[in-house]
Amino acid sequence: MRVMRFTAPTMAQAMRQVRQSLGPDAVILSTGRLPGGGVEISAAVDHALSAAAAGGGAPEPQAAPVPEAAPAPAGAGLDDLARRVADLSGLASRHLVLSEAAGGFAARPEVAPLYAHLMEQEVDPAIIAELLGDLAALGGQNLLPRLAIRLKKLLQVGAGPRLGPERPAVWALVGPTGVGKTTTVAKLAATYGLKHRLKVGLITLDTFRIAAPEQLMVYGRIMDLPAKVAATAAEYAQAVAELHDRDLVLVDTVGRSQSDQENLAELKAVLEGVPRTLCHLVLACPTRGADLKLALEGFGIFEPQSLIFTKLDETRTFGPILNLVVKSGRPVSYLANGQKVPDDLEEATREGLAKRLLPPRGGLQTS
Ligand SMILES: Nc1nc2c(ncn2[C@@H]2O[C@H](COP(=O)(O)OP(=O)(O)O)[C@@H](O)[C@H]2O)c(=O)[nH]1
Ligand SMILES: [Mg+2]
């Protein structure tokens, strides 16, 4: 298999080059942005793979599950879209998806611009294939609204604090260093404490760095909310007990590298001091896709209730949000789009996320 590189100003143009040079059996191996602008696609033709994809040659008996080639009727199978996407993790099936995309649905003139746009947004190719594959077979106009409906179905949102009978509700924000946990705790405190007029308390477990607890204490003083520092499971349980008159207790934690399993386990042990603590995983949207997936795995031990994405103001690529929702099966609860406390926080909605992921109406690049 000979790998070839294609560079062009836009994904659509690079895809066209791939099809022209390598034909319909091209397999996209990777896509990326060039430092000086433009995109690069590595692609190749693997005749064994493409023969198997076409049902021609002798397929490998141990091949990973292959997506249904036959177009499903409109709307069918949408409910288990996420499950089928999750099944597409094997390398062989991934290649089949990509090869099918390049030579099949993605080549159709009405679909190609949508395909290119989603690739540019760095949506996982397997998800794109599920979203667009049978839409292409339906043909016709108005693909964008149909895509929007499917996308919204995949984008789970919600999991804001459900204030059950047990008070206070306890939310801990966990996540890598520097993603904006402390800032987001402050924004949430303002949202729930000042706007929704709930009784909010703050706890910081970030005693790891000198002066780190001070950051949250300052927010507490400004907003006139009680704030406590805890370093052990017992201290944490004590702090929550002291905040028993609160509706919601927000817990800030120390940033940990997802690869630092020992420290993650230590933090988990502290959080277990209050078993009803619900964790929410904070991730920065501009983080590279592979690193986001590593964080998801590393912080999986906290069984996060939701994902919170920060720094949306620093990127224009939102595919990773969709990729992680599908991969984790967790909803997105909040989006942070700037440094300002408390303004730069929004509750995640399907519409808001889909709007960021889709091209503006009429703004599709068709060249
Ligand atoms: N641009 C941008 N910066 C943010 C956002 N959220 C937090 N930050 C900044 O990121 C840096 C780290 O934030 P911090 O809350 O201390 O992160 P932590 O280590 O996870 O607690 C600070 O400079 C914040 O102002 C956001 O949504 N957008
Ligand atoms: Mg912090």
How does pLDDT run along the chain (367 residues), one tens digit per residue?
Answer: 566 788 888 877 887 887 788 776 666 666 677 777 877 777 766 554 444 344 433 333 333 333 333 333 334 444 455 555 555 444 444 555 555 555 577 777 788 888 889 999 999 988 998 888 777 677 667 788 889 999 999 999 986 666 677 889 999 999 999 999 999 999 999 999 988 889 999 999 977 665 666 788 888 888 899 999 999 999 999 999 999 999 999 999 987 676 778 889 999 999 999 999 999 999 999 999 999 999 999 999 999 999 999 999 999 999 999 999 999 999 999 999 999 988 999 999 999 999 999 988 655 544 3
- Our answer on whether the CB atom of 178 is closer than 6 Å to any ligand 1 atom is yes
User: 344: which 2 tokens?
Assistant: 């730069």
Cβ of 206 below 6 Å from ligand 1: no
257 C-beta neighbours (distance < 10 Å), count:
13
Rounded to whole angstroms, how far apart are CA atoms 23 and 7?
Answer: 17
**Atom number, ligand 1, closest to the C-alpha of residue 206:** 21
What residue's CA is closest to ligand 1, atom 17?
Answer: 180
Sketch the domain layout of the chain as residue ranges: 4-154, 169-357
Report the DSSP pairing between strands 306-310 and 332-336: parallel
The pLDDT value recorded for residue 216 is: 85
How far apart CA 317 and CA 32 sit, in angstroms, is 12
**Can you give the pTM of this predicted structure?**
0.76
Which CATH code is given to the segment(s) 169-357? 3.40.50.300
Q: Is the CB of 177 under 6 A from ligand 1?
A: yes
Which pair of structure tokens corresponds to residue 108? Answer: 């159709």
Distance 151 CA to ligand 1 centre (A): 28
Contacts of 19 (CB under 8 A, 6+ apart): 26, 102, 103, 107
Q: Report the residue among 257, 282, 339 best suited for mutation to probe ligand 1: largest number of ligand atoms under 8 A from its CB.
A: 339
Show the tokens assigned to 31. 């896509």
**Alpha-carbon gap, residue 183 to 180, rounded angstroms:** 5
**Cα–Cα distance for residue pair 322/205, rounded to 1 Å:** 30
Cis ω on the peptide bond leading into residue 109 (within 30° of 0)?
no
Taken in order 151, 156, 160, 165, the sign of the CA dihedral is: positive
What is the C-alpha to C-alpha distance for residues 233 and 292, in angstroms, rounded to an integer?
A: 28
3-class SS letters over the chain? CCCEEEEECCHHHHHHHHHHHHCCCEEEEEEEECCCCCEEEEEEECHHHHHHHCCCCCCCCCCCCCCCCCCCCCCCCCCCHHHHHHHCCCHHHHHHHHHHHHHCHHHCCCCHHHHHHHHHCCCCHHHHHHHHHHHHHHCCCCHHHHHHHHHHHHCCECCCCCCCCCCCEEEEEECCCCCCHHHHHHHHHHHHHHHCCCCEEEEECCCCCCCHHHHHHHHHHHHCCCEEECCCHHHHHHHHHHCCCCCEEEEECCCCCCCCHHHHHHHHHHHCCCCCCEEEEEEECCCCHHHHHHHHHHHHHHCCCEEEEECHHHCCCCHHHHHHHHHHCCCEEEEECCCCCCCCEEECCHHHHHHHHCCCCCCCCCC
Lateral strand order in the sheet of 278-284: 227-229, 200-204, 248-252, 169-174, 278-284, 306-310, 332-336, 345-347
User: If you take atom 25 of ligand 1, which residue's CA is the nearest one?
Assistant: 339
Q: Decide whether any atom of ligand 1 lies within 6 Å of the 232 Cβ.
A: no
Closest-lying ligand 1 atom to the alpha carbon of residue 176: 20
